[in-house]
A and B are shown apart, each in its own frame.
Chain A
Amino acid sequence: MELTSTWYLVLAAILFALGATGLLVRRNPLIMFMCVELMLNAVNLTFVTFGNDLNDLGGEISVFFVLVVAAAEVVIGLAIIVAIMRRRNEATADDLSALRG
């Protein structure tokens, strides 16, 4: 059986869905960050697959931009968590409930 690009696209879609579901159901902020990373990397896989299909470098180059953005996002997210942890001992999403949407 040959692995066509469809397989990669479906894999990326599954990873993206896993990340999105995880972000919505998990309560630990660190796990939630990991889920965001999973979603972004699923997109990277999509970009590379399309870039390969189209024989276009644009897809691969986009991945670099996404990687940089993902790194910057995690830095900020962890910094906010550290700031919260300094005020209280544990930080799960359920503890952060002073504001009710």
Chain B
Amino acid sequence: MILLLQDSGSFAFPDVDWGGLSPLLVMAGVPLVFLTVWSLTSHIAPRRTPSIVAVLGGIGTIVAAAIQWGRVSGDDVPGFSTLSSAYSVDGFSMLLTMLIAAAVTLTALFAHDYLEREDINSAEFFVLLMLSASGGIVMAGANDLIVLFLGLEVLSIAVYVLAASHMRRAESQEAGIKYFVLGAFASAFLLYGIALMYGATGSTNLVHISEWSAKLSREGNTGLLYGGMALLLVGLGFKVAAVPFHSWTPDVYHGAPSPTVSFMASAVKVAGFAGLLRVFNLTLGADALADDWAPMIFVLAVLSLIYGTVVGVVQDNVKRMLAYSSISHAGFILVGVEAASDDGMTAALYYLAAYTFIAIGSFAVISVAAPKGDAAHSLTDYKGLASRKPVLALAFTILLLAQAGVPFTTGFLGKFFVIGASIQSENYLLAIFAMLAAVVGAFLYLRIVLAMYSTGDEADAAVTGTEPIPWTAALTIGITVAFTVFFGIFADLMVDLVGDAVPQLVRETAAG
């Protein structure tokens, strides 16, 4: 069929650089093949197989992305785009691909024992996890707005199901339908934004949009362009949970199963910011345009910082507190986006990388702390956790302190870099807001730490930490804590890595 079209000359089949697509192909191919194989072998294979396949698929994607990274890093070999300039392979897309794949690996690692405990274990969870991640990888490399939209939908539709996948908890299904309705609402806005961009510039390709938007801005003919820009921001702001598009976050984080939340807080946020950085900082990054969208991001960042920390402090449910903290983290990353500079972009990427591991570790702790039912997450339930499970409480404390931004953790450096980038772009007001939010936010995390280390009334408080911790969860928590502390002390290693990942906007060229 393809040959036929090629021969007739009426359809030019685009050049495909299979190497550049290999991380995506692994992440999308493994679950599809596995689902078929599993339907035939599920009665003889060990029950842990789906989880192992997902972990291996995640590691395979990381390896494939690392190989591609080697091709595109360095000044003499810039990134390139393939598939008629629809998908770009550069340091940026490969770094974020690795982050998303790491989120899949770590989540799949501890998800199996959680799902067994809750009696909801099925291979579909892991298949959907990987398919969702493949959508995120498409978003990370999208060089065309329609491709970005398709990636976002593949990512989201799988996560809607994952959020509702705890069939025995009404809260889980409620979380699923709330996330679905609001997600579809936001997707429609994003799509309308794409349509207006298309109308303004005549193409959905980011390279074309970049050239035309600069030209339109010089001519002062920007009505449609700005409409499109605002609507795109609504759609992407929803995915990264920025105020005022955050209303789903506390409910969904509260209701959805903990492994799903771990994936949402890490991979979905990474993918959302991938789209935001590529569309705004890169495509619409011309100075005249940046002056117009930066104030919108400014408002989102300030609102997210204030709302996330202030409302988070007064919650009494640990899962909800972490949901609000995830909103305020989105605010911090937006501070880096708002700087509209290379430094700001690097800072945002660093923050994303740090937060991905911290969030997965935190939700892995939450998944094993509460007993069956996944419901005992109030602060009183966490009282005395330190005396029952000292190591778990210590690990959670480290992760929470990292979120608060205590030195010698990646969380501190993330906050330091975004605020530094903001000051360098002379946005002193935003930097002050970010610093204040960091101070108030510390109180949020200390409340959880205090609850764990206080001796509650054992009779009615001994709810969490009563069951043995599965080795898979222990391994996940160990990896995330080690990552957070190691790269917090030896900061140069990760800073160099992220510094190589500044995205590029390239037309299709021969692969380097």
A56 to B198, CA, bound (A): 10
Are the C-beta atoms of A43 and B199 separated by less than 8 Å? Answer: no
Cβ-neighbour of A43 out of B160, B167, B191, B251 (below 8 A): B191
Known: A72-B157, A76-B160, A87-B173. Contact between A23 and B185, CB under 8 A?
yes
Contacts of A69 in B (CB 8 A): 149-150, 153, 187
Known: A36-B184, A101-B251. Contact between A84 and B196, CB under 8 A?
no
Decide if the interface of chain A is mainly helix, strand, loop or mixed.
helix
Contacts of B198 in A (CB 8 A): 47, 50, 58-59, 62
Cβ-neighbour of B188 out of A19, A47, A54 (below 8 A): A19
Instruction: Please give the distance in Å from B135's CB to the nearest CB on chain A.
Output: 11
Known: A76-B180, A77-B180, A101-B250. Contact between A40 and B174, CB under 8 A?
no
A93 to B178, CA, bound (A): 9
B51 within 8 A of A: no
Contacts of B248 in A (CB 8 A): 101
B146 within 8 A of A: yes
Known: A80-B164, A80-B177. Contact between A53 and B204, CB under 8 A?
no
B175 within 8 A of A: yes
A18 within 8 A of B: no
Cβ-neighbour of B174 out of A19, A72, A96 (below 8 A): A96
Contacts of B491 in A (CB 8 A): none
- Count of A-B residue pairs with CB < 8 Å: 116
Are the C-beta atoms of B192 and A43 separated by less than 8 Å? Answer: yes
Residues of A1-53 contacting chain B, CB below 8 A: 9, 16, 19-20, 23, 29, 32-33, 36, 39-40, 42-43, 46-47, 49-50, 53
Contacts of A54 in B (CB 8 A): 199, 202
A68 to B124, CA, bound (A): 22
Are the C-beta atoms of B177 and A29 separated by less than 8 Å? Answer: yes
Contacts of A65 in B (CB 8 A): 146, 149-150
From A16, A46, A76, name the one whose CB has the most chain B CB atoms within 10 angstroms: A76
Instruction: Please give the distance in Å from A69's CB to the nearest CB on chain B.
Output: 5
Name the residue on B nearest A48 (C-beta).
B195
Contacts of A62 in B (CB 8 A): 146, 194-195, 198, 204
B254 within 8 A of A: yes
Contacts of A40 in B (CB 8 A): 188, 191
Instruction: Please give the distance in Å from A75's CB to the nearest CB on chain B.
Output: 9
Are the C-beta atoms of A56 and B202 separated by less than 8 Å? Answer: yes
Name the residue on A nearest B191 (C-beta).
A43
Cβ-neighbour of A98 out of B167, B171, B187, B250 (below 8 A): B171
B296 within 8 A of A: no
A23 to B184, CA, bound (A): 10
Contacts of A58 in B (CB 8 A): 198, 203-204
Cβ-neighbour of B199 out of A19, A50, A73, A83 (below 8 A): A50
Contacts of B171 in A (CB 8 A): 98-99
Are the C-beta atoms of A72 and B202 separated by less than 8 Å? Answer: no
Cβ-neighbour of B251 out of A23, A53, A93, A99 (below 8 A): A99
Are the C-beta atoms of B164 and A83 separated by less than 8 Å? Answer: yes
Contacts of A98 in B (CB 8 A): 170-171, 174, 255
Are the C-beta atoms of A72 and B195 separated by less than 8 Å? Answer: no
Are the C-beta atoms of A80 and B176 separated by less than 8 Å? Answer: yes
Name the residue on B nearest A51 (C-beta).
B198
Taking A47-B195, A77-B160, A98-B171 as known contacts, 11 extra A-B pairs with beta carbons closer than 8 A to each other, sorted by chain A number, are: A29-B177, A46-B199, A50-B198, A72-B153, A73-B180, A80-B161, A83-B176, A93-B181, A99-B175, A99-B178, A99-B255
Q: What would 25 A/B residue contacts be, using CB atoms closer than 8 Å? A: A9-B199, A29-B177, A39-B185, A40-B188, A42-B192, A46-B195, A47-B195, A49-B199, A50-B198, A50-B199, A54-B202, A62-B195, A66-B191, A80-B177, A84-B170, A84-B174, A87-B170, A87-B173, A98-B171, A98-B174, A99-B174, A99-B178, A99-B250, A101-B250, A101-B251
